């Protein structure tokens, strides 16, 4: 079985995430979307809300599972028997950051990382931008799936 892990904070889930997930589905038998818990990070949305956003967005997709984890991503991959880590790339800065993480992961395991470029329509969207728009009461509806619109 080809199982991939798509890790992230998903604070909140954006249309960029949805784009990458939907385009990855044909590549894998199962896709585990997992929220990494970082005790040093302050989140806008609770873990429960973020899980609910993902579950509601993909409620009709049987190939998707939703989970959360603490610790190293590669250790969680081993726990759930994922052979691949899926990552989305918006720009060259993302690539440089993700390349470093991938190289570290490759020294720790034999799990492959698969990169998908975000579509042109969603490449400007990031969770941090969405949080800022929400904080300043702007219209973020074109950047997130319906499940995230409060």
Known catalytic residue at 17: yes
Q: Residue 110: its pLDDT value, please? A: 94
Known catalytic residue at 127: yes
Q: Judge whether residue 94 has pLDDT over 90.
A: no
What mean pLDDT do residues 103-121 have? 95
Catalytic residue (choose from 9, 17, 50, 126): 17
Q: What DSSP state is assigned to residue 8?
A: E
Q: How high is the mean pLDDT of the chain?
A: 96
Catalytic residue (choose from 3, 23, 65, 90): 90
Q: Judge whether residue 131 has pLDDT over 90.
A: yes
Q: What is the CATH classification number for the domain harbouring 77?
A: 3.40.50.620
Q: The domain containing residue 29 runs over which residues?
A: 3-148
Name, in order, each residue with C-beta under 8 angstroms of 32's C-beta and a sequence gap of 6 or more: 3, 4, 5, 6, 64, 65, 66, 67, 80, 82
Angle at 69 between CA 64 and CA 70, to 5 degrees: 160
Q: Judge whether residue 40 has pLDDT over 90.
A: no
Q: Residue 20: its pLDDT value, please? A: 98
Domains held by the chain: number: 1
pLDDT digits (tens, 9 = 90+) for 135-145: 999 999 999 99
* Residues 14-29 as b or e (16 or more Cβ within 10 Å = b): bbbbbbbbeebeeebe
Residue 98: is it exposed, middle or buried by C-beta count within 10 angstroms (0-12/13-18/19+)?
Answer: middle
């Amino acid at each position: 079985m080809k199982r991939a892990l798509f890790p992230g904070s998903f604070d909140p889930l954006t249309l960029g995430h949805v784009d990458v997930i939907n385009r990855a589905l044909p590549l894998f038998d199962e896709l585990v979307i997992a929220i990494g818990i970082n005790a040093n990070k302050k989140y806008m949305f609770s873990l429960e809300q973020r899980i609910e956003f993902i579950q509601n967005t993909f409620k009709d997709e049987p190939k998707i599972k939703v989970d959360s984890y603490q610790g190293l991503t590669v250790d969680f991959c081993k726990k759930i028997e994922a052979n691949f880590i899926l990552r989305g790339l918006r720009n060259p800065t993302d690539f440089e950051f993700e390349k470093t993480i991938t190289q570290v992961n490759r020294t720790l395991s034999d799990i492959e990382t698969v990169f998908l470029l975000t579509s042109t329509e969603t490449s400007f969207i990031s969770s941090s931008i969405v949080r800022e728009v929400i904080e300043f009461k702007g219209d973020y509806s074109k950047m997130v799936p319906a499940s995230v619109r409060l």
